[in-house]
Amino acid sequence: MHDETIAIHGGYQADGTRSVAVPIYQTVANDFIDADHANAIMDLEIPGFHYNRINNPTNDVLEKRLAALEDGTAALVVASGMAAVSYAILTVAVAGSNFVVAPQLYGATYTYFAHVLSTLGIEARFAVDDQADSIAALIDNRTCCVFLETIGNPAGNVVDLEAVAGVAHRAGVPLIVDNTVATPLMLKPIHHGADVVVHSLTKFVGGHGTTLGGAIIDSGNFPWSENAKRFPTFNEPEPAFHNAVFARDFPERAFVVRARSIQLRNTGATLSPFNVFLLLQGLETLAVRLERHEANARAVAAYLAADARVQWVNFAGFPDNPYHHLVQRYLNGRVPSIITFGVVGGYDAGLAFFDSLQLFKRLLNLGDAKSLVIHPASTTHRQLSSSELAAAGIRPETIRLSIGLEHVDDLIDDIDQALSKATA
Ligand code: PLP
């Protein structure tokens, strides 16, 4: 089936009630038929639900739908995008591991990698840029993965996934990517060599600024058992989970089974089934929303680029954008509705513009039906030093717009009046 169809029907078959909407199974647990049934479910010998910190029938539909959209073998949904990012790293890293990252990252991801994981003895190695050679230079025999955002937030860089997957795989390590900004409807990283995909579903997938959520999708492709020394937690009996050997016992979905049974089971960032219901509503309309987001963003970006009150504009959709060839190659020429730019007059003028907008919402989110604005250096990326900001692709004056679904003339009118006030 095509993506538009999977986004509406994937992973769901109505039960005897013939409910057309996915039911919200608001339950803490599911009762066992008898002791044998309980044992078989607990040992993952048969599929089934037991305790809803770990799995739930409503969540299962979203997991199947996302796995199908990303062309993976299995998915896990969790309470937020940050839960997905942290569970992904903790599923593969042990104390003493390092992992290599491209520096154009969402601020909380950057800070978590740079300052939190280090307290657990897990070192994030930040490459100077997102180029495969720069990443390759930092990989050694303690490296457990390469991590990057397929399209950096807010830098807007588009990574050459096949080149990076090549260097990761030649070194024997998996490539984990955050595909939040692109969504699986614009880019399927697994088709280009990614082994694991994470998402903040809070953004375009939910799409209405109502619901936090995250996901991890397993490609099923990474050969964990080929390097047992580098990946001990996939190849040695796991005492925290029935002595399972994940790579041997679950070869098609070892990553997601381990993320669920070790990370989610023990630390419990569970996504509520009600939130899953809202995310499923969002996913149903994602394809049509993305078309309108993109059309509006192209018009706003063109307006900004032609306006003398604007100093610079960074938009992946411009033909002279340095990532244009990668947009063509990986995104089929399509682009998400994220624009960054600077107002003539720099930092102060940028903040005056921010304060003067009337229709745009000043808030920490993106991918909403509503148009949003943020000044990353003082908000999403506030914890970063000036050199870290530069590496993440953020200037002090950078304003980020997430273009929504309103009538584009109303958005341009609002930008026009705010630019006039900011540059008066
Ligand atoms: N990844 C990216 C690219 C993001 O932009 C964000 C949030 O803005 C996250 C992850 C974290 O997601 P959440 O806010 O759902 O925890």
pLDDT tens per residue across span 302-350: 999 999 999 999 999 999 999 999 999 999 999 999 999 999 999 999 9
Q: Find out whether the beta carbon of 110 lies less than 6 Å from any atom of ligand 1.
A: no
> What pLDDT, on the 0 to 100 scale, is given for residue 382?
86
Distance 77 CA to ligand 1 centre (A): 14
| Token pair belonging to 202 | 């809070």
Cross-strand bridge partners of residue 148: 177
Q: Which atom of ligand 1 is nearest to the CA of 181?
A: 3
> What pLDDT, on the 0 to 100 scale, is given for residue 18?
96
Sheet holding 175-178, edge to edge: 74-78, 214-218, 196-200, 175-178, 143-149, 98-101, 123-126
Whose C-alpha lies nearest to ligand 1, atom 13?
Answer: 81
Distance 81 CA to ligand 1 centre (A): 5
Q: Find out whether the beta carbon of 202 lies less than 6 Å from any atom of ligand 1.
A: yes
Q: Is the peptide bond before 319 cis (omega within 30 degrees of 0)?
A: no
Parts of the chain with a pLDDT under 50: none
pLDDT tens per residue across span 390-424: 988 899 999 999 999 999 999 999 999 999 999 99
Q: Which atom of ligand 1 is nearest to the CA of 366?
A: 8
Strand intervals (E) in 179-308: 196-200, 214-218
State which of 101, 179, 180, 211 you would mutate to test the pocket of ligand 1, scoring each by most atoms of that ligand within 8 A of its C-beta.
Answer: 180
Tally the residues of the chain. 424
Q: Are 190 and 74 within 8 A, CB to CB?
A: no
Q: How far apart are the first and last CA of the chain?
A: 54
State which of 150, 151, 200 you would mutate to test the pocket of ligand 1, scoring each by most atoms of that ligand within 8 A of its C-beta.
Answer: 200
Distance 43 CA to ligand 1 centre (A): 33
> What pLDDT, on the 0 to 100 scale, is given for residue 383?
87
Q: State pTM to two decimals.
A: 0.97
Distance 376 CA to ligand 1 centre (A): 13
Q: Find out whether the beta carbon of 149 lies less than 6 Å from any atom of ligand 1.
A: yes
In order of their start, the domains of the chain are 3-280 (3.40.640.10), 288-422 (3.90.1150.10)
Q: Are 366 and 373 within 8 A, CB to CB?
A: no
Q: Are 339 and 181 within 8 A, CB to CB?
A: no
Distance 69 CA to ligand 1 centre (A): 19
Q: Find out whether the beta carbon of 212 lies less than 6 Å from any atom of ligand 1.
A: yes
CA–CA distance, 49 with 56 (Å, rounded to integer): 6
Distance 200 CA to ligand 1 centre (A): 5
State which of 78, 82, 113, 183 you would mutate to test the pocket of ligand 1, scoring each by most atoms of that ligand within 8 A of its C-beta.
Answer: 82
Q: Find out whether the beta carbon of 160 lies less than 6 Å from any atom of ligand 1.
A: no
The closest alpha carbon to 218, from 201, 239, 197, 192, belongs to 197
> What pLDDT, on the 0 to 100 scale, is given for residue 325?
97
CA 34 to chain centre: 40
Q: What is the DSSP annotation of 313-350?
A: EE-TTSTTSTTHHHHHHHHTT---SEEEEEETTHHHHH
State which of 203, 276, 337, 400 you would mutate to test the pocket of ligand 1, scoring each by most atoms of that ligand within 8 A of its C-beta.
Answer: 203
CA–CA distance, 148 with 366 (Å, rounded to integer): 18
State which of 101, 104, 109, 149 you would mutate to test the pocket of ligand 1, scoring each by most atoms of that ligand within 8 A of its C-beta.
Answer: 109
Q: Find out whether the beta carbon of 143 lies less than 6 Å from any atom of ligand 1.
A: no
CA 82 to chain centre: 9
Annotate 10-29 with b (16+ C-beta within 10 A) or e (fewer). bbbeeeeeeeeebebbeeee
| Token pair belonging to 131 | 């180029």
* Structure-token match 């169809």, residue found: 5
